[in-house]
Structure 1
């Protein structure tokens, strides 16, 4: 891969679970345009959890301890 993972395993699991929960809630409870937009945003959180890379964390210089070696 061309990127270094900057999200620890425990946070990756939380991002996936929280992202899926927010996406489901936004579609079921809100619906319409706002629900769709919120579900797409939650999809970005799920993807950062699946890939282990967060662009916002990379911009502020966050790295994993094992990535520094």
Structure 2
């Protein structure tokens, strides 16, 4: 089984989800070119996935520990 330990706190998860929704809205409604709309939509998808999973691979690579980690 594939298991990821959460390394994103709940408050940051909410902010990531709100940001992803705003980015998706801007990609869908904005007067951007097709390339920028696809890039913005893809970024919104990645941000939403990290918010829903509670795990951010980039944060893990930079040294952020899981939430239940005790030093």
Same fold (TM over 0.5): yes
Please list every run of at least 4 consecutive aligned residues from structure 1 whose deviation after the TM superposition is greater than 6 angstroms.
none
CA contact (8 A) 1:6 1:57 kept: yes
Kindly state the Cα deviation for residue 51 of structure 1 after the two structures are TM-superposed: 0.4
Gaps (5+ residues) in structure 1?
none
CA distance in 1, matches of 2:10, 2:64: 14
Kindly state the Cα deviation for residue 27 of structure 1 after the two structures are TM-superposed: 2.1
Paired position in structure 2 for 1:28: 29
Residues 1-10 or 46-55, more deviating: 1-10
Matched, 1:46 2:51: no
Write out per-residue CA displacement over residues 14-40 of structure 1, whole angstroms, 9 at most, x where no aligned residue: 100111111111221125221012111
Q: TM-score with structure 2 length normalisation?
A: 0.84
Paired position in structure 1 for 2:6: 5
